[in-house]
Amino acid sequence: MLFSKFLDPKNDFAFKQIFGTEKNQDILIHFINDILCFKGPEQVVSVDFLKTAQDPDIAAQKQSLIDVLCKDETGRQFIIEMQVARMQGFEKRAQYYASKAYSRQLLPGEDYTQLKEIIFIAITDFVMFKDKEEYYSTHVILDKETHAHHLKDFSFTFLELPKFDKEIDELENLIEKWAYFFKHAEETKEGDLERIVGSDQVIYRAYEALNRFSWTEIELNTYEQEEKRERDAQAIIKQKLIDAEAKGEARGKAEGKAEGVVQTLEAISLIKAGESDAAISEKLGLSLEVIEALRKQIAG
Residue 156 forms beta bridges with which residues?
120, 139
Residue 58 has pLDDT above 60, yes or no: no
Report the alpha-carbon distance of residue 226 to residue 11 in Å, rounded: 7
User: Which region among 3-12, 48-57, 262-271 has the lowest average model confidence (pLDDT)?
Assistant: 48-57
Report the alpha-carbon distance of residue 103 to residue 217 in Å, rounded: 40
DSSP output for 98-114: HHHHHHTTPPTT--GGG
Residues 163-182: what's their mean pLDDT? 95
Residues 270-294: what's their mean pLDDT? 79
Residue 248 has pLDDT above 70, yes or no: no
pTM of the model: 0.74
What local confidence, expressed as pLDDT, does residue 262 receive? 63
Element spanning 258, H or E: helix 217-272
User: Is 192 in the same domain as 268?
Assistant: no
User: For residue 142, how many other CB atoms are within 10 A of its CB?
Assistant: 12
Helices 288-299 & 277-284 angle (0-180, nearest 10): 120
User: Is 49 in the same domain as 190?
Assistant: yes
User: Is 166 in the same domain as 291?
Assistant: no
What local confidence, expressed as pLDDT, does residue 120 receive? 97
Residues 20-47: what's their mean pLDDT? 94
User: Is 269 in the same domain as 159?
Assistant: no
Domain hosting residue 35, numbered range: 12-215
Residue 60 has pLDDT above 50, yes or no: no
Query: How confident is the model over 9-33, as pLDDT tens digits?
Result: 999 999 999 999 999 999 999 999 9
User: Is 269 in the same domain as 188?
Assistant: no
Residues 162-174: what's their mean pLDDT? 94
Positions of E strands within the chain:
47-49, 68-72, 77-83, 118-124, 136-140, 154-160
User: Is 294 in the same domain as 165?
Assistant: no
Which residues have CB under 8 Å from 203's CB, separation 6+? 30, 174, 177, 178, 181, 196, 197
123 within some domain: yes
User: Is 173 in the same domain as 98?
Assistant: yes
138 within some domain: yes
% residues pLDDT > 90 (the chain): 57
How buried is residue 291: exposed, middle or buried, by Cβ count under 10 Å (0-12/13-18/19+)? buried
- The average confidence (pLDDT) of the chain is 85
pLDDT band at 173 (very low <50, low <70, confident <90, very high): very high
Which value, in Å, is the radius of gyration of the alpha carbons in the chain? 29
Q: Sign of torsion, CA 127 129 135 136? A: negative
Query: Which of 82-96, 167-181, 266-280 is most confident?
Result: 167-181
How many folded domains does the chain comprise?
A: 2
Residue 252 has pLDDT above 60, yes or no: no
What local confidence, expressed as pLDDT, does residue 62 receive? 43
